[in-house]
Structure 1
């Protein structure tokens, strides 16, 4: 091959050949860049999302709104249907949360039982690591501590 014609030489990269460097850090910044400039400031939205997700924010608003609606003497006929729908949505979301938490607890219990059957020092170490966590959240114990 002639060295002065190197720029015409084709380069083929078959799978698992060539440069295989890959960035694995998740980039979620694209989500906030999709916010229309007239709808809000993307950087502020991203920082607010870091404080509380949209689901958390909506959950708190829903709780307050339902509590205020329960305290009200009467509900306007126009809003009664919307209030009933909001209650149904909140109830369905709570059912989803309960199901997910129950499923997580069941999986965790199965994993602990599997380690218990294996026994040995790994299980004893796990027991010692979990004992303070379980004691801190026992009924009647102060939360978080």
Structure 2
């Protein structure tokens, strides 16, 4: 086929003839980004999920609760292990929360410092807004 007749050239696409590169790592950010700001901190939730998934936490809670409700339904040794693991997870998550407690304030201070350096007039407006009226 000659180059000046390119518009009559058939476009044939066989299976596996295109780009075969594919990202197979699951993207779970949609789940944590769906957490409303009033409900909690999505970053902390994601880090807590990495410590122990919700299913893992529920499984441990179920074993401990069943051992309390019906001692014969769960092996006491397994229930004690689950309780110990649950306490460990709780401590790690509490540590995580305390580490992240100051981050919003630090981010706000950094943003205010940047605003003061970039636009002093807007900084004064923001400062006046938060110092002029009583807290609600």
Task: Give me the TM-score of the superposition, normalised by structure 2.
Answer: 0.40
